A = this chain, B = another copy of it.
Amino acid sequence: MDYEELLMEKTAWYYYLENMTQQKISELLGISRMRVIQLLNKARKDGVIQFKIRHDSARRMETERDLIDVFGLNDAFVVPTNPVRENNNETVAKAAAMYIQDRLEPNAFINIGYGDTPSRVLNNLANMAENPISVVSLTGGVRYYLPNTQSNIFNARLYLLPTPLLASSKEMAEAMLQEASVKEVMKLASLSPITVVGIGGINEESTVMKSGIMGRNDFLLMKMRGAAGDILCHFINKDGEPVDTDIEDRLISTPLSTLKTLNNVIGVAAGKSKVEAISAALAGQYLNVLITDEETAIQLIAVKRAALEEKSERIGGKRHAK
């Protein structure tokens, strides 16, 4: 351990655990106050000091209980919406990392799906962990599973499918899936106690779109066929049923049927543009746990309740729920 790191630890300890002022700390450690500030910044950035919200499962807030009830989930974690950011991916990713760290047994594996948010979850987790975490990818396309930021500690052992996300042809995809190295990773995935997936929306900002896997025309087509969103690049309609796509047979990604056999599938997603997609994923019962922000959660519940009400009206006589 080098000297800088030791200073960082001490500084963070004195500041956050002992409530000393920066002035005191600088005197104690014989450095300038400026350096204390810089060390604290670095400590926060590098995850040497971590902030954790205690979130009793015993006292879930109303929105969380509603999510659990309305959608039949095992658990839900709702974080406050940051009205300033344009998207809350980083926020929910942080929450997911917190959630997982509390529940991950030492040396257990985690499956991570494709997308911006899962990628952030991974980065946050790797940054927080004291011991390296073991991560299994659920799709091809290695880029999204690699560290985002430059200099940070990335405390993870990665077991990635050594393939692209999309093969050039159906034959190629099939051949790749037969590779021993590919089968091996897929086998690992079936053993992980925790799985993290993102949920893609049908819009310009979606990862599938931005990464150039699908063009705008493909998207329009998909929309016409009733696609409401995607999980692991498998597109689904609003009831959660798979939608046939042109890319499906070239895709190297864990099948939705396999996903359903996994335990503790945690969906992490937030944003107005994703409400429809998340609803679809929930309808399809792909998720056991949902981590999202408050705004999204409220919309999800409202949409579902409206649908339920409409249904009960159509079926007959029952008066409106108040």
B51 touches A17 (CB 8 A): yes
Among the 9-residue stretches A2-10, A156-164, A166-174, A208-216, the one with 4 or more Cβ atoms under 8 Å from chain B is A2-10
Chain A contact patch, size range: 35 or more
Copies of this protein, total: 2
Complex CA gap A79/B14 in Å reads 10
Contacting residues, chain B, for A50 (C-beta < 8 A): 51-54
Complex CA gap A9/B56 in Å reads 11
A105 touches B105 (CB 8 A): yes
- A55 contacts the other chain (Cβ, under 8 Å)? yes
Question: Closest CB of chain B to A124's CB: distance in Å?
Answer: 11
Contacting residues, chain B, for A60 (C-beta < 8 A): 1
- A47 contacts the other chain (Cβ, under 8 Å)? yes
A10 touches B49 (CB 8 A): no
Complex: chain B residue closest to A12, CB-CB: B53
A83 touches B28 (CB 8 A): yes
A130 touches B9 (CB 8 A): no
Most B CB contacts (10 A, CB to CB) among A16, A17, A129 go to: A17
- A91 contacts the other chain (Cβ, under 8 Å)? yes
B49 touches A18 (CB 8 A): no
- A residues at B contact (CB < 8 Å): 1, 5-6, 9-10, 12-14, 16-18, 28, 47-62, 79-80, 82-83, 91, 94, 102-103, 105-106, 128-131, 155
